[in-house]
Structure 1
């Protein structure tokens, strides 16, 4: 089986919409979202290689130095699947974007390190 990195994305605009919800609505959605995420994990627990984690603030390091930057990366996880398509299908209807303010999940194959 191949390994795939899933990157959870969220825009600043989506987070602003989330923050605009009432405190009660946010709490309701957070509870529902965590329950749904737990169900997703249980459904795919045999395929989850590393559950990953949320991601914090970003620093970009380049030839001109180090700078604080903003991107859409929100969290990550690693799964195993028979194909790229099968890995992608695991995330259809995921609570990251159906309940929480996330926008999407991108899935890419973890390729072997070149040797030589």
Structure 2
């Protein structure tokens, strides 16, 4: 069965807006979101191969050297389902986009 990389994305300005909320609001969102995220993972446990995780600041390596970089990637997860459409449907109600300020989940098949 095909495997898919699901990459959680969040615009830096959306994260900044979230961090500018009063601490009590951030805590309430975090509490609700973490609970819903755990429930989502429990519902989909049979197809999750790697729970992945959230990621921090980016360091980019190029021919020119090593430098700090910015991108919208904030985490990942790996699932095994019959199609990209099936993988995408898993994430339609994901707390990353329904509770937290995430702007999307990019689904990509592994090709090797």
Shorter chain as normaliser: what TM range?
Answer: over 0.9
The structure whose Rg is larger is 1
Counting matched residue pairs gives 112
Residue 22 (structure 1) shift: 1.3
Q: Which residue in the other structure is 2:66 paired with?
A: 66
Q: With the length of structure 1 as denominator, give the TM-score of the two structures.
A: 0.93
Tell me, what secondary structure is at the counterpart of 1:21?
coil
Superposed CA offset, 1:53-101 (max 9, x none): 1112111111111111011110000001011100110000210011112
Q: CA RMSD, aligned part only?
A: 0.8
- Aligned twin of 2:19: 19
**TM-score of the two chains, using structure 2 as the length reference:** 0.96
- 2:34 corresponds to which residue? 34
Unaligned runs of 5+ in 1: none
Point out 4+ residue stretches in structure 1 off by more than 3 angstroms. none
